[in-house]
A and B are shown apart, each in its own frame.
Chain A
Amino acid sequence: MNREQFIATFREHLPAVSKFLVRRVTRDEVDDLASEIFEIAWRKRDEFTEGSELAWLYRIGGFVIANHRRKEAKRGLWLPLLDVDATAPSAENLGLANVSVAEAWAKLKPSDRNILALSAFDGLSVTQLATTLEISANTASARLGRARKRFAEYLNSDLSD
């Protein structure tokens, strides 16, 4: 893939990557991190398969955000969870206005939040989730199913209290 093809292929994904990032980092970090994602995408441009570009960008994005948070942690904010799953948006990131929803979201494990956010807000299919998370499609399906179930349980339990 040459430079022109790269730009033509990834141009349409710029808005999606921006949305992906703005749910997970502060607004003024979006440009820098997006640049980093596309720099990596350029270097690894021969590794992705046609049709999987967006999921592949989200996979890179997960690592870029995780690294970014490690950097922030080193600067004084100790985050106990610094893996890719911990890059899932927090209730604050999502601006969850409903307290019960925010509490249910906060109760989820980072891995559940991550897969649920990728599905519910980034609109990824099971196949794309598998590519993004580097797991098989059936594992992605099962993990998503469990995350949905847990979220519904937490939410309903909170509402019934």
Chain B
Amino acid sequence: MNEKFEQDQAIETLRKSAKAVRAPKLDESILETASLSKVKPSLMAKLNLSRRATGFSLAGVAASLAGVAVIAGSVLNPQPTFTLEMGANAPQGSNKSVMGESSDSKVGGLSYWPGAPLEIDYVAGDALSGEAGSGSIYEFVNNTTAKELSASIKRVLKIDGAFVTETYGVETPNGEEKVTYFNLQSGAINVYVTDTNGALNFNYSNQEAWVLGECTKEETSPEMPEMTYCVENAPVKADLPTDKLAIASALELFSGLGFETTAADITVNRSEDSLYAFAPIKVDGKSTGLSWDIAWGNTGKISSLNGYAVDAVKVADVSTISAKATVKRMNDYRWTASGSAELYQTASTISSRMGDDTAANEGKTQQILVVKATEALGIIYDANGKMFAVPSYAMFTENDSYPLVIVSVVDGVIKLPEPIVWPQDGMIEPEVKTGLTD
């Protein structure tokens, strides 16, 4: 069979196999707002600045920014006086894609994949406990200042150069708001420190921690034979520290920057040419959703180091619902929180559910069994951008190793925001073009 024909057939099969894209309609105000922006967007990304946390809002997403007010009267102890913004920090792979109308118990048909035709109904397995319990809500409070943290980073990591403090104005519906960050660039090293996204945190990166091997295979373009380019590089023998050394190094650096942990709490992941270690910030023996992490590139140099300079302070003791009862909340994305790094270590990237024939199931509801639930603290933001750890369950379903972290605080403590309602009439069907060339 002709090779090109075979390839065309394969691509056609690929296109037909993919689901129709139902992309949300973007409001033209995005363009208007973009042309008014003053902050450097790249910095927004580097600084991990959530628009929710900074109060930056755009037409079309305003509905997702509604706060969550605490309702008095149904918790064990004196009421916390904060408001919460739920689901602002859910992990990838979670059930954040929600369409449909609001109700008390279910927001609408959940789509596991963007635009998936399936609705998902989570069912509690027999192993899940029906016992209610109690737990605590913690607020993350900065344990130092951005200036002091910046100085520690410079000293501990022995970086030349000086931090630059800059403040940018961000246009919001409520007027201009200020975003402040500390940045140090020294050769290939880049450090950002900021406390504008809910908790004081920093990011260190060194681009020289990675090197590419020499080119071992060149190819020539069929259209321009005089031009060649590299398609394969020689593998680079990685010069990585042992696990023991990595843990010792992590402990020393973390401690030097103000985070005390133990070797037993450090998890190390190793690949052929990289090494990654992390340790959760714990409170009362439990991992919060925040962690410190460090990675080494194939040169053996530290490629990244990230952490939060915060303490978790208890603000309230609350009653919690059972794991079985929490299953009902899985159909409402607003109860979703983000979990600690350990929860995702064994996660597979491709769900076995992928084998389902979604086209044949269009319009149907798929039942998914929740087989295990473990107690966890989940991270959520309040309406003011403050970060909290709240009692939750990590819910494991029969087909996925990614757990969904669902808040288990009893009803009445947290008032949910209005759900996002996707405009059904704004959905766009795909227009697939064929052909290789102009």
Contact = CB atoms under 8 A, between A and B. Distances in A.
B122 to A, nearest CB: 18
A38 B45 contact: no
B37 interface: yes
Given A121-B15, A123-B432, A18 B25 contact: yes
Interface string A123-144: 1011100000000111101101
A78 B277 CA distance: 10
Contacts of B350: 90-92, 102, 106
Contacts of B23: 15, 18-19, 21-22, 30
B416 interface: no
Contact of A39 (B41, B271, B341, B422): B41
Given A17-B26, A41-B34, A156 B10 contact: yes
Interface in B205-259: 219, 221-224, 227, 229, 231
B138 interface: no
B356 interface: yes
A25 B223 CA distance: 34
A42 B34 contact: yes
B21 A28 contact: no
Contact of A93 (B114, B269, B289, B344): B114
Given A27-B97, A76-B341, A156-B10, A94 B19 contact: yes
A19 B426 CA distance: 12
B351 interface: yes
Contacts of A126: 436-438
If over half of B's interface residues share one DSSP class (helix, strand or loop), that class is named, otherwise mixed; here it is: loop
Contact of A119 (B28, B31, B436): B436
Nearest to A70: B45
B354 A99 contact: yes
If over half of A's interface residues share one DSSP class (helix, strand or loop), that class is named, otherwise mixed; here it is: helix
Interface in A26-78: 26-32, 34-36, 38-43, 64, 67-72, 74-78
B14 interface: yes
A32 B19 contact: no
A97 B357 contact: yes
Nearest to A102: B354
Contacts of A38: 30-31, 34
Contact of A10 (B31, B221, B338): B31
Interface string B46-88: 1010010000001011001000000000000000000000000
A146 B430 CA distance: 25
Contacts of A6: 31, 34-35
B92 A72 contact: yes
Interface of A: 3, 6-7, 10-11, 14-15, 17-19, 21-23, 25-32, 34-36, 38-43, 64, 67-72, 74-78, 80, 90-99, 101-102, 104-106, 116, 119-121, 123, 125-127, 136-139, 141-142, 144-146, 148-149, 151-152, 155-156
